[in-house]
RNA sequence: GCCGGAGUGGCGGAAUUGGUAGACGCAAGGGACUUAAAAUCCCUCGCGCCUUAGGCGCGUAUCGGUUCGAGUCCGAUCUCCGGCACCA
């Protein structure tokens, strides 16, 4: 095999991509006799174009997949498309392209962008969520959830744009206005479908303890999101009625400090208690407004069941109907929010908790307090509970309440049920029909899928286009056969991504829920994706996995054993005072090419089309090849860290690959023909010994750096060091050539996960049969890797004073002797008393001395 | 406000368990090759000071502490980034 003198990436890369396609090396098959490794990157939304930020994500996954393959694992490394969702529908409204066409065309063009990167995907398992064959399973899961009472319908508030007549997602509401038409968004109550994720709240929380392979930060975010809090529910009778107001509190120890009550404007009792409807509307309008607390006295009083005190009941905009019971007891002395409310409406304050014993009574009489004391302490003015400490009092009061039938100890979660209804077209139809006679009726399993019709019109107004399709809406009731109306809402796209990793376990032509496949491949051993999915996607997937477990689809609870959240790729932004954001090529010497004004250099930000600070892999690959792009994006920073894109740095990676190429080219004839084994190391010439040692050290470093949380940046640095030595090595005899061959081959194998194409080419050029990925990952010998001489650092009082080379493995005593023999050290020590000598094996000696004359 | 994380040369970053701070790369400067340039190769490269060989002092956001020894551990402060934010 001959090697071109000059490294031409296009040629090499195309050749090996074709080779991999032909050989089917990236295809996976379940084989229980082999150890499996499931490597998964979060699948992309087909927006049309990828930038190097996306590419980095796939490259990280690809390195892991290729490395694990060489380590002998049967690797599953699939890819697919998160293909339903809003942008396709918006494109339809704006440009008149059908969402399906837009989506499939984008998938096509993204495939064209991905292919040249050289990613080792098994394309036989490609998943496209907008395919009927995929979303029919969303519908199947929906039916199963419905059967189990885990899917239900209830009224809830949504962001509603009156002008577009549509529901908006939270992120589509910008400063309270519609992102598309700028109308003021209102809260509208709609009937919506929900998944009862709260049924698994406790389990999802407990499960966090199992997520040892996840970044702690993400686990913490999940815990906060679930938001467990323990407390009590207590009934407060309302004076002059037979009604009771049930509240939730986490501080039963402050019950004697209640000064007023607050209920949510949407609380069922509110309408009953409030006569002043105008005032109530005012509070309702400010519901959830964080800036101002607004309250309205209902004219009613509640009775504190513990001490019989009579306290006023208010309606307040800050009390949420969705959490707890929708009503609270207000203890202004010990809750900052209640304190502020009390101040605003001039309500009394009563302290019942003292921070500690020393500050006792007295201070509680000493005039107004500046803020609430929210900590724990000792109870005062609390009847029989006075003198108890908060934790003890919480228990005692809760027990008392339960004994007297006034309420009960309760656990609450912030986690809400997952609203999955979208008044949108481009999503999975919810398999439900409404019959006048039978009410809500699920579609029969045998009638799945409910196919999303293609022939629709997009106006952007009047809600889902499905509403205007009589053929779709009008149907028969599965129960009574009478006329019925189909559900026109579609599912949240998070449903699609909550189980796609299970679909990948089987090939396209296999049953989606084939048990043997799933039990072999699941769980995902390494999941890689952006931190932006730390809560929702990952939580929904954990929920779905539990649902699938309870349906018998799979036998585990946690889908992702290890999670890597990679940092974003940023680039500085450029802005012209006249032409706004500029592409990098629109600025020359700090001037705008359009108008010549000074360009303002903005901060580094996540790459985005709108800010024009994107670098696409296509350009880079065209110029330097995929191997260079891959290498640089791995070398520039550890994967979990954000990275600023640097064009200069890319050139450095390119130079490195050229150097590797040149080394192999220069030595290829000798290396190819070399048949010598490596004799005992001691017989080698010292330079060859050195190179061999460096080679083994590098194998060790690259391997441990990859194993140590995928620190590819230092792995690549180690490889560069080896290549620097390889470049300087001058072989003179046959044994030198043998060492060189071994060293070059090792370097190629170590490089292969990072820059796979050039590695294949060079592997072949050194006289080996492809593919390098069928090789076992190289092994190192501790013995050969060990340095024969080590640098001993000599410190005096913690300061480095000398460095000497000493043989490896000296005893502490020998090291002390050597140190004190050193002329320079003798000089420093003369006339000083040595107090102590510390020896750190193989590293340094620290001599502690006193001042002169001591 | 609360909860996380980070802060190291001109830049990206390294230092794995408390033990030589700055690996590797980029940029910069100097040199070789060349008619010339590009490419490539070699050398220098934290800051300050001493005339040099060589040495000395300072230095990991700031201040303090523990230790023979601190980028690493502890306490306080500042800045930046991320998450949550009336959750009762």
- Which residues of chain A between 50 and 79 are close to nucleic strand B, CB under 7 A? none
CB of A704 nearer than 7 A to strand B: yes
Phi then psi for residue A381, to 5 deg, are 50, 35
pLDDT at A814: 84
A846 nearest nucleotide via C1' and CA = B68
Cα–Cα distance measured from residue A31 to residue A331, given in angstroms and rounded to the nearest whole number: 63
pLDDT below 70 — which residues of chain A? 1, 169-176, 179-180, 356-368, 462, 588-590, 601-603, 672-679, 851-854
CB of A705 nearer than 7 A to strand B: yes
Going across the sheet that includes A483-486, the strands are A439-442, A432-435, A483-486, A474-476
- Which residues of chain A between 823 and 852 are close to nucleic strand B, CB under 7 A? 824, 836, 838, 840, 843-844, 846, 848
- Which residues of chain A between 545 and 584 are close to nucleic strand B, CB under 7 A? none
A839 nearest nucleotide via C1' and CA = B19
B69 closest protein residue (CA to C1'): A798
Cα–Cα distance measured from residue A317 to residue A331, given in angstroms and rounded to the nearest whole number: 17
Q: How far is the CA of A802 from the C1' of B54 (A)?
A: 13
Are the beta carbons of A50 and A114 closer than 8 angstroms? yes
Are the beta carbons of A305 and A247 closer than 8 angstroms? no
Pick the closest to residue A151 from A138, A170, A166 (CA basis).
A138
- Which residues of chain A between 782 and 821 are close to nucleic strand B, CB under 7 A? 791, 793, 795, 797-801, 803
**How many CB atoms sit inside 10 A of residue A435's CB?**
19
Q: How far is the CA of A101 from the C1' of B87 (A)?
A: 44
Pick the closest to residue A633 from A612, A650, A618, A621 (CA basis).
A650
Q: How far is the CA of A774 from the C1' of B24 (A)?
A: 29
Are the beta carbons of A273 and A300 closer than 8 angstroms? yes
CB of A649 nearer than 7 A to strand B: yes
CB neighbours of A57 closer than 8 A, spacing ≥ 6?
A41, A42, A528, A529, A530, A566
Q: Which helix (H) or strand (E) holds A651?
A: helix A647-673
DSSP string, A104-156: HHHHHHHHHHHGGG-----GGG-EETTSHHHHHHHHHHHHHHHHTT-EEEEEE
Q: How far is the CA of A9 from the C1' of B36 (A)?
A: 29
Residue with the two structure tokens 């790459």: A607
How big is chain A by its Cα radius of gyration, in Å? 35
Residues forming beta bridges with residue A193, ordered by sequence position: A153
Are the beta carbons of A19 and A11 closer than 8 angstroms? no
CB of A689 nearer than 7 A to strand B: no
Pick the closest to residue A701 from A744, A658, A746 (CA basis).
A746
Phi then psi for residue A833, to 5 deg, are -90, 125
Q: How far is the CA of A501 from the C1' of B35 (A)?
A: 65
Are the beta carbons of A26 and A594 closer than 8 angstroms? no
Q: How far is the CA of A800 from the C1' of B59 (A)?
A: 15
pLDDT at A35: 96
Instruction: State ipTM.
Output: 0.94
A224 nearest nucleotide via C1' and CA = B84
A341 nearest nucleotide via C1' and CA = B86
Instruction: Using a 7 Å cut-off to protein CB atoms, list the covered nucleotides of chain B.
Output: 3-5, 11-16, 19-21, 23-27, 39-42, 55-57, 68-70, 82-88
User: pLDDT (tens digit, 9 = 90+) per residue, A396-438?
Assistant: 999 999 999 999 999 999 998 998 998 889 999 999 999 999 9
A531 nearest nucleotide via C1' and CA = B82
CB of A642 nearer than 7 A to strand B: yes
pLDDT at A174: 64
A319 nearest nucleotide via C1' and CA = B86
Q: How far is the CA of A752 from the C1' of B26 (A)?
A: 24
Please tell me whether residue A256 adopts helix, strand or coil conformation: helix
Pick the closest to residue A185 from A209, A153, A159, A217 (CA basis).
A159
Measured in Å, how far apart are chain A's first and last C-alpha atoms?
A: 74
pLDDT at A180: 66
Whole-structure pTM value: 0.92
Q: How far is the CA of A582 from the C1' of B8 (A)?
A: 33
Q: How far is the CA of A828 from the C1' of B57 (A)?
A: 17
B39 closest protein residue (CA to C1'): A655
Q: How far is the CA of A846 from the C1' of B17 (A)?
A: 19
Q: How far is the CA of A599 from the C1' of B3 (A)?
A: 39
pLDDT at A76: 98
Cα–Cα distance measured from residue A286 to residue A296, given in angstroms and rounded to the nearest whole number: 12
pLDDT at A588: 67
């Amino acid at each position: 095999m001959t090697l071109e003198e000059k490294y031409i990436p296009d040629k090499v890369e195309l050749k090996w991509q074709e080779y991999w396609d032909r050989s089917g090396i990236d295809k996976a098959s379940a084989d229980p006799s082999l150890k499996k490794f499931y490597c998964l990157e979060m699948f992309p939304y087909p927006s049309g174009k990828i930038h190097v930020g996306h590419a980095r994500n796939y490259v990280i996954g690809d390195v892991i997949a290729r490395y694990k393959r060489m380590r002998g694992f049967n690797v599953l490394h699939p890819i697919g498309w998160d293909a339903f969702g809003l942008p396709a529908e918006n494109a339809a409204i704006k440009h008149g392209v059908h969402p399906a066409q837009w989506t499939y065309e984008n998938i096509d063009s993204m495939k064209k962008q991905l292919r040249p990167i050289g990613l080792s995907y098994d394309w036989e398992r490609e998943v496209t969520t907008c395919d009927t064959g995929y979303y029919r399973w969303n519908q199947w899961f929906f039916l199963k959830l419905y059967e189990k009472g885990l899917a239900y319908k209830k009224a809830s508030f949504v962001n509603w744009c009156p002008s577009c007549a549509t529901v908006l997602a939270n992120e589509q509401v910008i400063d309270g206005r519609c992102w598309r038409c700028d109308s003021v968004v209102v809260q509208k109550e709609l009937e919506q479908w929900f998944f009862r994720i709260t049924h698994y709240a406790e389990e999802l929380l407990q499960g966090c303890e199992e997520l040892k392979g996840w970044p702690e930060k993400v686990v913490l975010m999940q815990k906060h999101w679930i938001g467990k809090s323990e407390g009590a529910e207590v009934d407060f009778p309302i004076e002059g009625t037979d009604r009771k107001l049930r509240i939730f509190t986490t501080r039963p120890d402050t019950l004697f400090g209640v000064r007023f009550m607050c209920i949510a404007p949407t609380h069922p009792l509110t309408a009953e208690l409030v006569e002043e409807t105008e005032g109530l509307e005012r509070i309702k309008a400010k519901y959830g407004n964080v800036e101002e607390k607004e309250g309205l006295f209902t004219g009613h009083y509640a009775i504190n069941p513990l001490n019989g005190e009579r306290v006023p009941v208010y309606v307040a905009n800050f009390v949420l109907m969705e959490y707890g019971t929708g009503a609270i007891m207000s203890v202004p002395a010990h809750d900052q929010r209640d304190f502020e409310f009390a101040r605003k409406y001039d309500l009394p304050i009563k302290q019942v908790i003292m921070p500690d014993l020393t500050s006792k009574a007295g201070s509680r009489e000493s005039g107004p307090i500046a803020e609430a004391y929210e900590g724990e302490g000792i109870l005062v003015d609390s009847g029989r509970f006075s003198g108890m400490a908060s934790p003890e009092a919480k228990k005692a009061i809760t027990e008392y309440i339960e004994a007297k039938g006034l309420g009960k100890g309760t656990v609450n979660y912030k986690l809400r049920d997952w609203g999955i209804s979208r008044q949108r077209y481009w999503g999975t139809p919810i398999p439900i029909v409404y019959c006048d006679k039978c009410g809500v009726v699920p579609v029969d399993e045998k009638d799945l899928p409910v196919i999303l019709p293609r022939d629709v019109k997009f106006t952007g107004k009047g809600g889902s286009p499905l509403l205007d399709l009589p053929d779709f809406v009008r149907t028969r009731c599965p129960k009574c056969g009478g006329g019925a109306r189909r559900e026109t809402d579609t599912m949240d796209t998070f449903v699609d991504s909550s189980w796609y990793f299970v679909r990948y376990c089987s090939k396209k032509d296999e049953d989606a829920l084939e048990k043997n496949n799933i039990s072999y491949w699941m769980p995902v051993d390494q999941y890689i994706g952006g931190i932006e999915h730390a809560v929702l996607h990952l939580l929904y997937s954990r929920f779905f996995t539990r649902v699938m477990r309870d349906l018998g689809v799979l036998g585990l609870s946690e889908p992702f054993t290890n999670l890597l959240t990679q940092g974003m790729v940023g680039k500085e932004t450029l802005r012209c005072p006249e032409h706004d954001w500029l592409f990098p090529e629109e600025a020359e010497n700090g001037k705008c090419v359009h108008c010549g004004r000074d360009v303002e250099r903005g901060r580094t930000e996540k790459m985005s089309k709108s800010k024009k600070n994107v670098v696409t892999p296509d350009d880079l690959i065209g110029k330097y090849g995929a191997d260079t792009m891959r290498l640089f994006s791995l070398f520039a920073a550890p994967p979990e860290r954000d990275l600023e894109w640097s064009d200069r740095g890319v050139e450095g990676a390119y130079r490195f690959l050229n150097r590797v190429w040149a080394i192999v080219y220069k030595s290829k004839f000798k290396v190819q023909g070399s048949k010598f084994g490596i004799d005992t190391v001691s017989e080698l010439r010292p330079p060859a010994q050195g190179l061999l040692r460096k080679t083994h050290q590098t194998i060790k470093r690259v391997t441990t750096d990859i194993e140590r949380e995928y620190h590819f940046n230092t792995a690549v640095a180690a490889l560069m060091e080896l290549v620097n030595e390889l470049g300087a090595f001058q072989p003179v005899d046959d044994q030198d050539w043998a060492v060189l061959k071994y060293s070059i081959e090792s370097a190629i194998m170590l490089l292969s996960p990072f820059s796979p194409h050039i590695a294949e080419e060079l592997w072949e050029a050194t006289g080996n049969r492809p593919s390098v990925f069928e090789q076992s990952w190289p092994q190192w010998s501790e013995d050969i890797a060990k340095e024969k001489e080590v640098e001993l650092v000599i410190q005096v009082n913690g300061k480095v004073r000398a460095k000497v080379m000493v043989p490896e493995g000296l005893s502490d005593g020998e090291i002390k002797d050597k140190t004190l023999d050193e002329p320079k050290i003798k000089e420093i020590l003369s006339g000083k008393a040595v107090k102590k000598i510390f020896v750190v094996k193989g590293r340094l000696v620290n001599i502690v001395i006193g001042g002169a004359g001591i």
